[in-house]
Structure 1
Amino acid sequence: MRGSMTTARDVAERAGTSTAVVSYVFNNGPRPVSAETRRRVLEAAAELDYRPNILARALSAGRTYSLGLLIPQIRNPYFATLAEHLESFARQHDHLLLIGDSAGDPEQESAHIGSFIERKVDGVVLVSLLVEPAIQRFAAANVPVVALHPVPDGVTVSTLSIDYVAAAAASTEHLLSHGYRTIGVVTGPADSPGTAEHRRGIEQALEAHPRASARYVASPVSRFAARDAVRPWFRQKRPPRAIYCSTDEQAFGVLYAAWEAGLRVPDDVAVMGFDGTSECTVTVPPLASVRQPIEDTARQAVELLLDRSNRTATRHVLDYGLVPSASCGCQAGDGLPVSD
């Protein structure tokens, strides 16, 4: 008797205990079970290939054993890597990860939010196009949220991210240290999370360099959109000497646009990304970037969402690393210290 035919009663008989104790073991309560009895139950379950009914377990525990991930574009390597790590950590906690890809469409994002609420997910990892409305809807439905980006003042929700202002300032300072004095900046859409922080960090760095200047262009977070956004710059007689991108995904498009225009990187134009995905190591030339701690972000996000003992909204600031490489004028592998 194995698999779907096996019941809790079968496990109880094999372990020499009751079905209630089997339930306590697989639901971690509500009553304690001795280590020896727990061992016998788990051994019996393994021998019989017993799998508890997840729906019955959910009803009993008052949770669905599922987490939601809301992101703007799954094809972006950063979000693909994030989803991979989140899925792994969620599985370690016996949870299923549900992914909602808004594809840059606010209406699609809104539909995903409704789906997560209807399915009563135990929590949501949020990278939103429209932050405040999304958070308000989840709060009204009593769904815990961890946002992976800055949120507007007055919005009460836990956040988990690097210091975007400091990282942008460090990246800009690094480009200026090479002697580049004209910097083109490719941000996300003007109202998207993090855009204002990137601009603030860049302006902070420029304050100490009065002869340097920056010009900005807003672009959807897409390599194709970024390619199109910088093409006019690269047709000019004097294009920006360095390009700062708010994501690696956009930087990939900028590298292509430079090649298309016959510009050499970094000899004619330097390029700096932001995210530090593994794809940076296989571009031509290798892409300099700010490395975000994606795996640690995923681990902490899952832990925060599943910690029912603490629902206080807190801001968690993670370390980042500035990773110079050939695209900014450094040798690949030149490392700078991780942020404090």
Structure 2
Amino acid sequence: MRNVTRQDVARLAGTSPAVVSYVLNDGPRPVAADTRSRVLKAVETLGYRPNQLARALRSQRSNTIGLVVPDSSEAFFTELVHAVEQAAFADGALVLLGNSGFDRERELRYLESLADMQVGGLLLVRSESGAAKGAGRALSELGVPVVHLNHRAPRGARATSVVLANRAGGRTLAEHVIGHGYRRIGCLTGTASSGPVSDRARGWADAMRAAGLDPSPVLRTGLDRRSTREQVKAWLRGPERPEAIVATADGLALDALSAAQETGLRVPGDLAVAGFGGTEPAAHSWPALTTIGRPFADFGRVGVETLKSVQRQAERVPDRVLDVELTVRRSCGC
């Protein structure tokens, strides 16, 4: 069975293909109400579906959003991707996803490719590790609106960012653990010197100093989960093992829970653990993980709304910093 064409719709509606195009694209020329009604009825009768890619190429825009994340298999990014997709769909847009694999070169390749596909805008969740060997095309040269999600835009860039209140959240999380009476509180974090995870570690250090506690017990780990657990186990077996761990990501906190179990430590009896992210797995660990974060549905919605604002306005749209909420569970001793 052959595909229904615009010419078929025009024939049934008793008008020209150009008029069909005006109706479907809402312009550029006005169409009489009676003619519009006939065209829409013909579209419904024939089941006509416009070629979205062709329309995008003609109009230099499309109802698609490009989203690039480091790794959509990680719980935080999985839930963020889902939230963005839901928010975009509710707004009549579709999402094209790329995984950078924590590789800046690959990240740039995805951004360039998505821009060349005429997406209406880009949401970029930058990798916190690695650096691009070549500059590639600067984001400002892609010709597509860009919003940085979860990670602030680089210094000097005019791009807008939507981020969590990471430093304030790290401080709140540490203050909660300190409130339980723990004094040897370690910070389990990544190796990046900037970005969300680094800001959360700075918030932990702020709370430690304010309480007159030592902010030096920090364990920095890479991306390999097995290696992280081994490092944490060695930390917990050492002579200066922490009484509590504030992890700057839920994934790291879950690794700490596993390491504690493997070393025979009871949580929270022998060790308290808290994480950052507010991810779904945190609610189903044993014990359930105390964590801080922002509802992902809201995070994704604000990201999509901000991108729409950037698309509409010539002036730079202000950054958005979203407050985070503490969810108290058993792992910290509550």
- Whether TM-score is above 0.5 comes out as yes
CA RMSD, Structure 1 to Structure 2 (Å):
2.7
Q: CA deviation at 1:56?
A: 2.2
> What's 1:146 paired with?
147
> What's 1:315 paired with?
319
Q: CA deviation at 1:190?
A: 2.2
Of 163, 166, 174, 1:164 maps to 166
Q: CA deviation at 1:214?
A: 4.5
1:261 and 2:263 are equivalent in the alignment: yes
Q: Residue type matched to 1:88 in 2?
A: Q
Comparing 260-269 with 191-200, which one deviates more in the overlay? Answer: 191-200
> What's 2:108 paired with?
110
Q: CA deviation at 1:162?
A: 1.7
Aligned counterparts, 1:1-340, within 5 A: 5-15=3-13, 17-32=15-30, 40-129=38-127, 137-148=138-149, 149-221=151-223, 223-307=225-309, 308-311=311-314, 312-330=316-334
Q: CA deviation at 1:314?
A: 1.8
Separation of aligned partners in 2, 1:303 and 1:135: 28
1:74-99 CA distances to partner (integer Å, 9 max, x unpaired)? 11111111112222333344443222
Q: 1:39 to 1:165 in 2, by over 3 A?
A: farther
Separation of aligned partners in 1, 2:136 and 2:65: 15
| Runs (5+) with no aligned partner, structure 1 | 331-340
> What's 1:336 paired with?
none
Kept in 1, the 8 Å contact 2:272–2:332? The answer is yes
Q: 1:121 to 1:192 in 2, by over 3 A?
A: farther
Higher relative contact order (CA 8 A, sep 6+): 2
Q: CA deviation at 1:164?
A: 0.8
Q: Residue type matched to 1:182 in 2?
A: R
Separation of aligned partners in 1, 2:41 and 2:272: 60
Kept in 2, the 8 Å contact 1:221–1:250? The answer is no
Kept in 1, the 8 Å contact 2:60–2:118? The answer is no
Q: CA deviation at 1:245?
A: 1.3
Separation of aligned partners in 2, 1:34 and 1:164: 54
> What's 1:333 paired with?
none
Separation of aligned partners in 2, 1:135 and 1:187: 30
Separation of aligned partners in 2, 1:203 and 1:51: 57
Q: CA deviation at 1:264?
A: 0.8
TM-score normalised by length of structure 2: 0.87
TM-score normalised by length of structure 1: 0.85
| Runs (5+) with no aligned partner, structure 2 | none
Separation of aligned partners in 1, 2:228 and 2:116: 36
Q: Residue type matched to 1:115 in 2?
A: S
Separation of aligned partners in 1, 2:230 and 2:112: 34
Separation of aligned partners in 1, 2:287 and 2:32: 59
Separation of aligned partners in 2, 1:271 and 1:231: 14
Q: Residue type matched to 1:177 in 2?
A: G
Q: Residue type matched to 2:326 in 1?
A: L
1:234-262 CA distances to partner (integer Å, 9 max, x unpaired)? 11134111111111122121111111111
Q: 1:314 to 1:221 in 2, by over 3 A?
A: farther
Kept in 2, the 8 Å contact 1:135–1:157? The answer is no
Separation of aligned partners in 1, 2:3 and 2:97: 31
SS of structure 1 residue aligned to 2:73: coil
Kept in 1, the 8 Å contact 2:276–2:292? The answer is yes
Separation of aligned partners in 2, 1:177 and 1:35: 67
Q: CA deviation at 1:305?
A: 2.5
SS of structure 2 residue aligned to 1:207: helix
Aligned length: 328
Separation of aligned partners in 2, 1:166 and 1:329: 22
Comparing 65-74 with 115-124, which one deviates more in the overlay? Answer: 115-124
Percent of matched pairs sharing the same residue: 38
Comparing 165-174 with 142-151, which one deviates more in the overlay? Answer: 142-151
